[in-house]
Each structure stands twice: as C-alpha cells, then as structure tokens.
Amino acid sequence: MPNPYIIVISCVTTETVMVSSPSIFYKANEVHLFRYIRDPGTASAKLYEDHFQSVCKQIRSSLPECLVTEHTDDPVYDLPRMVRALSVLYSRIRREHPDAEVHANLSSGPSEFIAALGIFAFLNPDVKLFKVATKRYTVGAEEFMLLHYDEDGNAVGLSREVYDPGPVPTVTLDGPDEVLVRSLRLYHQVLERGESPTGPLMMSLLEEKGLWIQSRNNCGKKTSESTLDRNNYYRNYANIWKMLGWIEDRDMRECPPLTEEGKAVIEMFWPE
C-alpha cells in the first residue's frame, strides 16, 4: 500500500519549531501556512516576516520536495473568516487529493485561529488535530520569569494594556447523540470494572438508566421479545458505535474496547 499524501495546516506568528517540527515529523507533502501582515513596512511586520521565512527554511531543509503554500488573504484573528478560509482550502484539497491525510496544528497561531480549527475539524471529522508541547524555551528560566513582571515586581503577563473586548460570532453545531454517548459510557464502565458488557447486561443497564430505546418492529414476523430486544441493542447502539469509530471494529462477542475517539467522546460530551 502506498504511503498516504500528507498535508499539514498551521498558522505562523512568532513561533518557528512549533510549526516546522510537526510538518517534518509527519513527512508532509504539502504544508499550508496561514499568516497575516497588518502593517507592512513596520518593525512588527519584519518580526512576523522573519519568523515565517525561518519556518519555511526549516521545512525545506528537511523536506526539499515539500510544497509550502502561504495564505495571507484573511486576518488570522478573525474567527468567521478563518473558518471560511479553512473550508475553502479543504474543498480544494479534497478535489486535488481525495485520499489525502490532513493534519491541523492546534498549537500555532492566535486563539481565534485555534478556535476556527476546532470548528473546521468538527465539520470535517477526517481532519486530524494535533498539539505540540514546548520541550525547551529560547530564554532561560530567570529571564522568562522577568518577562511576566513589571519594574515594581507586580505580575502583569506579556500584555501591559489591551483593547476593549469585542464580540465573537457564534454558530450552533450539533454534538453527538446524547443517548449514544451516555450508553457508550456505560459500556466503557463495565469494561473498566473487568466485566464483559454482553448484550443482556447492557440491555438491563440501559433500561435501568432510562437509555433503552424501545424498538420492537418485527415487520410482521413471529419473533420473540428477547430476540427483538437483542436486535434492537445491536442495531441502535453497538453497530452505531462501531460505525462512528467509537469502538474497535471487531465482533461484538469479543466486547471490543473503545477507540481513542470513543474515549474522547465520553470524556467531552454529556458528562455525568
């Protein structure tokens, strides 16, 4: 099987290895770098330009065949425009490389860009989000601490003064089905206890928790109630978990464990 075509999406502000290292790690065929220059010709613009050129140099040094594309049309601090720009890019990627593996960097860029990536990945579940942790800083611990205090020793952070808060447009996104998430959590809890979440046990637990969806339509056939219930469990619960990629794709008689995605779902949605 040939290696997949790898595409990495990041934002460049004043970080370099936070952007270049993951691109090199994934052996990217394409890297898409979002950035925005607000005041061309200023010292600030030079700062951002120098960091961008450094990122490009680092990537091309390790991946000479990698196609690096710069995106500068939209402000990276404008949430709606970033979601739109990412969606336009994704449509183009899917036209040109239908089977490409797309990775997006949650550790790069301003908070608005990161939020846009979250919405973008929610709308396109095949996009693989990743984060990058700092192993070593460019300044020493003492100098790093000094940056966060003023001359009187007061903790101030890196921002001395800010603009008035501005509203951020919101959108409504449907989360996963509540019954499916809560029932999957029950399934996982049984596994965590070292027990086997068999059909009969799960049906009993689901009914006890008010999560059992009655569905005894047997299309006119003579079928026992227990058979209908068993079919209902596999059709409306187990098979859907498997289809969504929340449990491993194995025979349910093996009581397959949750995938990493399944564990993330029960961690994030409909908490107890």
Helix (H, G, I), strand (E, B) or coil at 104: strand
The pTM of the full predicted model, rounded to 2 decimals, is 0.76
104 and 197, same domain (yes or no) = no
Q: How many domains does the chain have?
A: 2
C-alpha–C-alpha distance, residues 100 and 94, integer Å: 7
215 and 114, same domain (yes or no) = no
Domain limits at 16?
6-136
30 and 119, same domain (yes or no) = yes
67 and 185, same domain (yes or no) = no
Contacts of residue 114, Cβ cutoff 8 Å, sequence gap at least 6: 106, 108
Q: For position 71, which CATH number holds?
A: 3.40.50.10770
204 and 123, same domain (yes or no) = no
Helix (H, G, I), strand (E, B) or coil at 27: coil
C-alpha–C-alpha distance, residues 10 and 114, integer Å: 9
255 and 204, same domain (yes or no) = yes
User: Which tokens hold the place of 200?
Assistant: 């009969």
131 and 47, same domain (yes or no) = yes
Across the 272 residues of the chain, what is the mean pLDDT of every consecutive 10-residue run? 91 94 96 89 88 96 96 91 93 95 94 92 91 85 81 80 77 85 96 92 92 63 67 91 93 90 88 76
33 and 83, same domain (yes or no) = yes
Final residue of a structural domain among 136, 160, 193: 136
3-26 in b/e form (b: 16+ CB < 10 A) is eebbbbbbbbbebbbbbbbbbbeb
